Structure 1
Amino acid sequence: MSDPRPTIRLDKWLWQARFFKSRSLAAGVVSAGKVRVDATPVSKPARAVGPGDVLTFVQAQETKVVRILACGDRRGPAPEAQLLYEDLSPVVERRSYNPGGDRKGRPTKKDRRDMMTHRAADDPFALE
């Protein structure tokens, strides 16, 4: 007779694997029906999961697809948590930050000085 497969609560595993900061946040995401286990939507945080199950969920505007490798005993440091799963997420090309050209963010100090000189030149009531 073989040993039963080790299992753990879904919300607890998501918390131990450090996908969510608290177990209640993990439970909220599962309760909202935003987690799939082996392509089946799940809405109960107490759903038992174990090694071999594939989870799909959204975290920080990215779709995560992970295969559970181990249940884990505790919520340890990040390197320990990364041993609990295999990341199967599709690689998404991120926009690279391009300092300088084509800026649309905050103006630099030089940009602000240039704006002030242009404003002063256009304002007939500006004090000199």
Structure 2
Amino acid sequence: MSNSDVRIDKWLWAARFFKTRQLAIDAIDKGKVKLTNGERIKPSRNAKLGERLHIDNGADEWDVLIVGISGKREGAPIARLLYEESAESLARRAALIERKKLFPEPFADAKGRPTKRDRRQWERATDA
């Protein structure tokens, strides 16, 4: 297998858009990863240099250009060299981050099932 014969699911995992290859495969199957023109792809498709992708991993959305091919998962600074994010995508994600700072999601930092104390605080906050 040459360096250019890397499946798109493996490339998404190596570029750190998804924590596991299975999550990347599931996202592709659900249509969350597409070519920028809207064309759906299959997980077994090879990643190609110069290809533009729209990626939605649930937490964020990116529009990226593939500039490097790798099937090996490495550190984030190295993975960042595999793609270039479009200016529109950067602006959209920056606006979303700013919006989350200004209007934080209630109980976004809560982990797991609320305790009795959490429930009482929430009830006091919603009754006021």
Give the TM-score taking structure 1 as reference length: 0.66
Q: 1:90 to 1:15 in 2, by over 3 A?
A: same
1:95-125 residue CA offsets vs partner (Å, 9 max, x unmatched): 2636xxx99957xxxxx8xx9xxxxxxxxxx
CA contact (8 A) 1:34 1:41 kept: no
Match of 1:18 in 2: 16
Match of 2:91 in 1: 91
Match of 1:57 in 2: 55
Identity fraction in percent: 34
What SS does structure 1 have at the residue aligned with 2:79? helix
What SS does structure 2 have at the residue aligned with 1:50? coil
Count of aligned pairs: 102
Q: CA deviation at 1:8?
A: 1.7
Q: CA RMSD for the aligned pairs? A: 3.0
Match of 1:80 in 2: 78
What SS does structure 2 have at the residue aligned with 1:95? helix
Q: Which runs of 5+ in 2 are unaligned?
A: 108-120
1:50-98 residue CA offsets vs partner (Å, 9 max, x unmatched): 1100010212343210000011241000000000000111413122636
Which range moves more in the overlay, 52-61 or 23-32? 52-61
- Between Structure 1 and Structure 2, which shows a larger proportion of helix residues? 2
Q: 1:7 to 1:38 in 2, by over 3 A?
A: farther
Which structure has the bigger radius of gyration?
A: 1
CA contact (8 A) 1:11 1:27 kept: yes
